Amino acid sequence: MSRVQPDRSEDVFEDFKPAYSPGQALTEANRCLFCEDAPCITACPTGIDIPQFIRKISTGNVKGSAKTIFDSNILGMSCARVCPVETLCVGDCVYNDLGEPPIQIGKLQRFATDTAFEKDWTYYEAGPDTGKSVGLVGAGPASLACAHELRKLGHACTIYDKRDVVGGLNTTGVAPYKMRADRSDAEVEWVLGIGGIEVITGVDVGTDKSWDDLVGAHDALFIGVGLGPDHWLSVPGKELDGVYGAVEFIERMKLGTVDVSKVRSAVVVGGGNTAIDAVRELAGLGVGSVTMVYRGVEDKMSGYAHEWKAAKHEGVRSSWRSQPLAFEADPSDPAKVARIRCAVLDDAKQPTGDETTIEADLVLLAIGQAKLESLLSGLSGVTFDRGCVVVDAAQKTARDGVWAAGDCANGGKEVVNAAAEGKVAAQAIDAWLKGDE
Ligand SMILES: Cc1cc2nc3c(=O)[nH]c(=O)nc-3n(C[C@H](O)[C@H](O)[C@H](O)COP(=O)(O)OP(=O)(O)OC[C@H]3O[C@@H](n4cnc5c(N)ncnc54)[C@H](O)[C@@H]3O)c2cc1C
Ligand code: SF4
């Protein structure tokens, strides 16, 4: 049952890394040197045995290859599409040092896992019922990976999410040219296929249901609530129509429709990965002029250089060393943003006294997301460091019986980190429930 509506704005995007045919996958798999102590395994947060899964492709055992991937990372299908492989597994392939193109690990992983989905291969069954129940808050990658592992170990799971869709940012946030929402939805169904994971949507924990209720209802609690809303700039005009948070706008584009047909010129404020996704998405939706406005300089931006290179290739412009001072409207339409006025900064990010003005009838703010410390303050005993839940190496919080993983604990990393941490938490919860901790 799909939880994602058809006919979404994101449908216009093509796959930016098209899938391998069986022949292409075989050719690429045969290039692998099958290194012992392969550095790519260490570079993968979920520790997938990469040479092993590639060897299985090369011997025609695609079913076994996908199992090798899923054994380490149950979200291996989405990770194959969304992982920044250039900075993870592919970035550590030994071919890089030999001056040869690195093995396309993500594309091979996609070939194996897509085939498993197409053929409806399933590999896992729930373990014998332990009579214990775990509540998981948030239905993103961290909770899904945690719940699947807990089911293998025989514990009943209930996931609560405030949204109606499941999958967290994998469904609502990742760029559609990497993965569309319906593909993430299909992965959610595949993960839930193990059985015994109840998903209750439309429940905002902390508002609709108290933390104490959840603690009382379950033997253990897992927190995977991710990050909060987009940060906002405190400048005049911030309330004008046409000014949105980038993550909020991306979610609307992925789950429904956004009308940018009348937008002549859009600005995205920020220099991180969300900002780069946003400019590429606006360009892909057909906005004629898209500019990234960033306080720093090109080689110091926090977004991935390879993604920014692609954005430039797609015609995105930039305004470096620019600090927004005000969003301004035209007298003819005083409620609607028409331009953004910026201070020009020097190398030390101090205003030079000069100003620059950029036309913008759509502005997206991609300057970070809030941490959810205040939401979780209803759960006494849990501690925080700069807004993130403090956890130990087993993802356990300072409160007995409560674990946390993913963005709410690591501050905002990647899907693969959330999947890895969720699985670690599940194993620790299992040990604790059995009294083995
Ligand atoms: C725009 C954008 C693009 C990204 N692109 C990539 C990418 O290409 N590749 C990549 O690897 N990573 C990407 N990331 C990061 C990645 O999506 C996250 O690291 C990952 O989804 C974190 O998983 P999570 O389970 O911790 O949290 P989330 O995915 O955020 O899931 C948290 C869930 O908790 C729910 N929730 C929150 N509060 C409550 C509450 N009070 N009650 C009930 N439910 C609640 C939310 O509705 C949500 O479903 C991107 C992030 C953003 C913002
Ligand atoms: S999960 Fe991501 S980092 Fe790990 S091997 Fe697959 S593509 Fe690479």
- Whether the pLDDT of residue 437 is over 80: the answer is no
131, pLDDT greater than 90: yes
CA distances from 387 to 247, 248, 327, 375 (A): 19, 21, 29, 11
What pLDDT does residue 270 have? 98
62 lines ligand 1 (CB under 6 A): no
Q: Which atom of ligand 2 is nearest to the CA of 47?
A: 4
What mean pLDDT do residues 302-308 have? Answer: 95
Q: Is the pLDDT of residue 128 over 90?
A: yes
d(CA 12, CA 332): 33
344 pairs with which residues across the strands?
322
- Ligand 1 atom closest to the CA of 141, numbered from 1: 25
Q: What is the largest CA-CA distance in the chain?
A: 70
Asked whether 264 and 288 are in contact (CB, 8 A), the reply is yes
**At 306, phi and psi to the nearest 5?**
-65, -30
The per-residue pLDDT for range 401-419, each reduced to its tens digit, is 999 999 999 999 999 999 9
Confirm or reject: Cβ of 109 under 6 Å from ligand 2: yes
Q: Which residues of 361-394 are buried (b: 16+ CB within 10 A; e: fewer)?
A: bbbbbbbbbebbbebbeebeebebeeebbebeee
**For residues 357 and 364, what is the distance between their CA atoms, to the nearest angstrom?**
16
User: What gap in Å lies between CA 53 and CA 76, rounded to an integer?
Assistant: 12
Shortest-distance Cα residue to atom 30 of ligand 1: 226
Residue with tokens 């508002």: 207
Residue 364 Cα to ligand 1 midpoint, Å, equals 19
3-state secondary structure of 56: helix
Question: Which ligand lies nearest to the CA atom of residue 89 in the structure?
Answer: 2
Please tell me the residue having the least CA distance from ligand 1 atom 14: 414
Coil, helix or strand at residue 28:
helix
On average, the pLDDT of the chain sits at: 97
Q: What percentage of the chain exceeds 90 in pLDDT? A: 97
- pLDDT bin (cut points 50, 70, 90) of residue 52 is very high
pLDDT band per the 50, 70, 90 thresholds, residue 387: very high
Per cent of the chain over pLDDT 70 is 100
Ligand nearest to the CA of 105: 2
pTM for the model stands at: 0.97
CA 132 – CA 155 distance, rounded (Å)? 5
- What mean pLDDT comes out for the span 322-345? 98
Give residues with Cβ within 8 angstroms of 66, minimum separation 6: 53, 76, 112, 113, 115, 116, 121, 123
Q: Is the pLDDT of residue 59 over 80?
A: yes
